[in-house]
Each structure stands twice: as structure tokens, then as C-alpha cells.
A and B are shown apart, each in its own frame.
Chain A
Amino acid sequence: MRLEYFQMVDRVTMLDLTQRRIAADCQVPDQSPVFEGHFPGYPILPGVLMIETMAQTGGWLVLALHRLTRMPFLMQVEKAKMRSFVAPGTALKVEAAIEHDGSGYAVVKASIAAAGKKVADAEIRYGVVPFPNDTLKAAMLDTARRVALPEDLLHGA
């Protein structure tokens, strides 16, 4: 994870387009400017970044289902629960599953676990629209390769 660049997902470890599920590894860095302010003398991962981590993981699932032809934008977060503090250096396992694939929107249920214990969960809703420009699309394709999304999904995108 590179928190200050909003790079939350390190690697997609499981993607099942039939079951419409995804899992990802996200390694909280030992050090980040974020921890200087959150909080001085007691660094923990901000809850909003846990939500962002779930949103990005679910977002990769939505992107994969659309074979990277459409972009999910975060629209709504429901029932978000931050259940435990997450310290610098923690290895996170993130899972997400499609709750509903609507017309122009998608709903995902996502959770984060650390050392086998759930530390956060939420229901996340996205507006799913064509890419607004080629720059974003190219960046998402590059990032898809970085997080190891299956290469065959990238062809034809």
C-alpha cells in the first residue's frame, strides 16, 4: 500500500467471475506521512482508508466483470464498521463479493481481515460508467497489471 498515493491494493490473490468474488493482499506500510497525523504517538490506519481499501478491492471486481471497459466510481458506503485498530506493518486480507450488478451501478459487500480476524466491513455502491477519458483508462490498465489482474481480462479493454 502507498497510502499517500491512494494505492491501496498490492495484489489480487483470487478472482472468481462466476461467483463474482475477489480477494486481495494489502500490506500496510511501516511508515507513511499519514501516520504522522493519524495519530501523533499512536499511528493507526485511518478508517476512511480502510473504506477506500474495500472500495478499491470491490472496484477491481467490478472492473474485471466489465473486462475493464467501464469504471466504477464510489457513490455510497453503507453499514461501514471499523472493528479494530490497524497498526503500521499489518498484513491485510481484503475480500469483496457482488451483491447486485445493476444497470449503471453495482453493489458490493466487502471486508478486511488481519491475522484471521475481521477488522472492517461495509457495503459499497458504485456508479459504473464508461471511462471519462483515455488517460484514466490507460492508468487503470497499468494498475491492473501491477495488482496482477489476469492478463486475459485486459485484452480488448
Chain B
Amino acid sequence: MATTYETVSGIISDTCDIEPEKITPESHAINDLGIDSLDFLDVAFAIDKAFGIKMPLEQWTQDVNAGKVSTDEYFVLKNLCANIDKLVAEKAA
């Protein structure tokens, strides 16, 4: 079974046409991979479908805009994957 990171990096590679070797757990989706908001919509839709969750993008955006967290918390892939794992665990609980 694929890990969360393998699934997410595969989605990003396929959806945004980014070569897999350019994607690492430390990659920032926006700053490093250049994913724009429209492409991120595709990524979010694919992640929501793949994991059966609803990523709270609006809440995350509010948190970033309010200065509570940096974009790294949600857009660095290892952190994004950790957040996805949390959402999956919450859904299963």
C-alpha cells in the first residue's frame, strides 16, 4: 500500500505535470514546485478523493492570513502529508 507521501507526490506529479524526481518531502508546493491556485484546486480535489477527506483549505488559509502559522505548515509536502494523516485518523475515529 502506498504511503501518504507517495500518493500525494504522485497526484502532484500527474496533476501538475511535474517530474517525480523534482518532488521531495521538503518541497514547498508553491515556492519550490510553482503550483498555482488553480492547479492546487486539482491537487486538493484528487487528495480529497484519494483519502476520502475534506481538507479544510479555507481554515488553513485563514490561519496563514492571521499569522498563526506559516505556509510551510500546509504546503511543505511532509507537513501536508502529516495533516492528511491527521484528517484520515479523525475521520476513522
Where the two chains meet, the residues of A that have a C-beta atom closer than 8 Å to any C-beta of B are 75-76, 100-105, 107, 125, 127
What residues of A have a CB within 8 angstroms of the CB of B45 in the complex?
100, 102, 105, 107, 125
B48 touches A100 (CB 8 A): yes
Once A103-B54, A103-B58 are accepted as A-B contacts, the answer to whether A75 and B49 lie under 8 Å apart by CB is no
B38 touches A102 (CB 8 A): no
**Among A75, A104, A107, A127: residue with most chain B CB under 10 A:** A104
What residues of B have a CB within 8 angstroms of the CB of A102 in the complex?
44-45, 48, 54-55, 57
A107 to B41: give the CA distance in the assembly, Å. Answer: 10
A105 touches B38 (CB 8 A): no
Q: What does DSSP make chain B's interface, helix, strand, loop or mixed?
A: helix
B54 touches A105 (CB 8 A): no
Interface residue B67 (Cβ < 8 Å from any Cβ of A): no
Chain B: number of interface residues, binned into ranges? 10 to 19
A30 to B73: give the CA distance in the assembly, Å. Answer: 56
A102 to B59: give the CA distance in the assembly, Å. Answer: 12
Once A75-B38, A76-B38, A76-B41 are accepted as A-B contacts, the answer to whether A103 and B49 lie under 8 Å apart by CB is no
A37 to B49: give the CA distance in the assembly, Å. Answer: 42
Nearest Cβ in chain A — how far from B54, in angstroms?
6
Nearest Cβ in chain B — how far from A122, in angstroms?
15
A125 to B61: give the CA distance in the assembly, Å. Answer: 19
What residues of B have a CB within 8 angstroms of the CB of A127 in the complex?
41
Once A75-B38, A76-B41, A125-B41 are accepted as A-B contacts, the answer to whether A100 and B58 lie under 8 Å apart by CB is no
What residues of B have a CB within 8 angstroms of the CB of A105 in the complex?
41, 44-45, 57
Can you list the 6 inter-chain pairs with the closest CB atoms, starting with the nearest?
A103-B57, A104-B58, A103-B58, A103-B56, A104-B57, A105-B41
